Structure 1
Amino acid sequence: MSTRARQKPAASELKQERAIRTRALILDAAARAFADKGYPATTILDVAELMGATKGAVYFHFANKNALAAAVTEEFYARLRADAQQVQEQGLAPATAIRELLTRTGAMFRDDQVIRAGARLQIERSLIDADLPVPFVGYTETVTGLLRAAGAEGALPAGSDPEVLGRVLVSAFFGAQHMSWVMNDRADMAERVEEILATVLPGGAAA
């Protein structure tokens, strides 16, 4: 083994790694706070206490609560994009990929605190003084693209317009997750996704 290979990481590298880990812990704590309490009721102190740190540690990475909310929202969309990419990389038939995507996304809304927080922050976006991504655009484009491919294979109901069907499907899904959250803390998300697929795509992706 060479001398270079045996060398320990430089102090600057270790500091950077710690900063990355700390930032991730802050985002996780902020997501839990936003998901449970909402943006108006959450404070920087709440976030600090959840991660067992001081407010100064939070402020070192984020200037204020608005910046925290923006970062959690960006992570929300990053996770949705990453999940969609994983589904597309499986090489499934388009109709099957739609089912897989909605099923996986439903599970994320049920189990992933960042996703739960991101959904709530989108509802409260008018209260957040930060530029947030426009909601639903990327997800709708992904679903619509899969629907076009499914239509080309004859896997959609006759006369279906993929553009319209994409908007309806995404609207139904995000509306259902909101109702599931309010009524059952999203415990029934799997059942709600099955209902949407069976109703909006009968004989297609729900087969």
Structure 2
Amino acid sequence: MFTGFEPMQVQQYTKRLHALGGELADSSQKVTHLVASKVTRTVKFLTAMSVVKHIVTPEWLEESWRSQKFVDEQSYTLRDAEAEVLFGFSLEESLKRAQSAPLFKGKYFYLTPGICPSLSTMKSILESAGGKLLTKQPSYRKIMEHNQNKNLPEIILISCDNDLHLCREYFLKNIDVHNAEFILTGVLTQKLDYESYKFT
């Protein structure tokens, strides 16, 4: 899968990929390699983050093309110091964590309708990290039931400034509601951070 390139460039890369016997993944679940020249928070990058084995630079494809076979990825692993400092994470560590266990496994999410990025975008990012999206708003009682019973999945609430009125009951009952960064930065860093993105 390619992310962050011009369509013409992707076309050229795709031709080379096919010539080498590789193929473009039609869904993020099937991706083994993400080709990117920097860390971006695109849907492709964030969904791939949870499933890929390698995030490599275009040089990997160029070198493979020159060698007429896929070369070892190790020397072509994406390094983006700027983004790693900006988001406070190590891409290498995040990938290791993602490969050891899905970040959102056994967690249900309810996202209020006005969420940005869109619901469908968030759904792909969530599901690739093992989470499940609830289609209807859970009641306070249901959340408490899930919180108290360890056999039930945890329910995490995600909202945005324009939807906070929909969360009034949660706030009154001291239930945490987070913004979208809980998911977006969470997937990038492969960490659950229950403190930083809470609405207070």
Fold in common (TM above 0.5)? no
Does 1 or 2 have the higher relative contact order (CA < 8 Å, sep 6+)? Answer: 1
Which has the larger helix fraction? Answer: 1
Between Structure 1 and Structure 2, the one with more strand by share is 2
TM-score, scaled to structure 1:
0.28
Query: Highest Rg: 1 or 2?
Result: 1
